[in-house]
Structure 1
Amino acid sequence: MMFIYLATLSVSIACLALIDWRYKLAFWHNARQTTLTITATIVMFGLWDFFGIAFGIFYHGNSPYSLPFTIAPEFPLEELFFLFLLSYCTLLVYRGIGIWRSRI
């Protein structure tokens, strides 16, 4: 039961990768630039999370669907997967709309 959230995030990322592969939006368009963009975004939001944790705004909670351990205090492993999903999805939407608008 505790791996459900991580599994859901992983399946969602895999589905985004299929969309990316089909339409060549990010990794299959320019892997280096995509990697740099997503890494920078994860670092930025990761720092945001760490500041939120330090100020007592964010906390891990006790969900039966998440893993019982954290990378750092109150920072679950799933957060990295979520930040990747958020960044990747945003990048795909941005690129997709840009391509769609150029065809109009």
Structure 2
Amino acid sequence: MGILYLLALLVSLGGMVVLDRRFGLFFFDRPRRAAIVLVVGVVFFLVWDVLGIGLGIFFRGETSFMTGILIGAELPLEELFFLTLLCYLTMNVFRGAQLLVGRLRREDAA
């Protein structure tokens, strides 16, 4: 059971890819820009986590659903995938909202 959380994150990331592909939201709209934005977002939040850990604010939770693999002090492997999911989801929602608002404006103008 120690890999369940990581598997859930990977399935969720797969869902983001499917939505992105279906609606051309992020990577399937502008892949180079998307890669840059995603990497910058993940790095920002990793730095945030490392600073929080260093200041004694963030701690690794113990659960049987996690792998127990650490990529840093108090920083589990799953955190990297969670941050990737968080950033990817945010960009898909943002781009989806932009497309929806654009469509509604065009319909109102017609």
TM-score category, normalised to shorter length: over 0.9
| Runs of 4+ in structure 1 over 6 Å off | none
In structure 2, the residue matched to 1:23 is 23
The aligned runs of 1:1-104 (5 Å cut-off) are: 1-104=1-104
- RMSD of equivalent CA atoms: 0.6
Which TM-score applies when normalising by structure 2?
0.93
Overall identity of the aligned pairs, in %: 38
Q: Give the partner amino acid of 1:94.
A: F
CA separation in 2, counterparts of 1:69 and 1:101? 42
CA separation in 2, counterparts of 1:69 and 1:23? 35
Equivalenced residue count is: 104
CA separation in 2, counterparts of 1:37 and 1:61? 28
CA separation in 1, counterparts of 2:30 and 2:68? 36
Which TM-score applies when normalising by structure 1?
0.98
Greater C-alpha Rg: 2
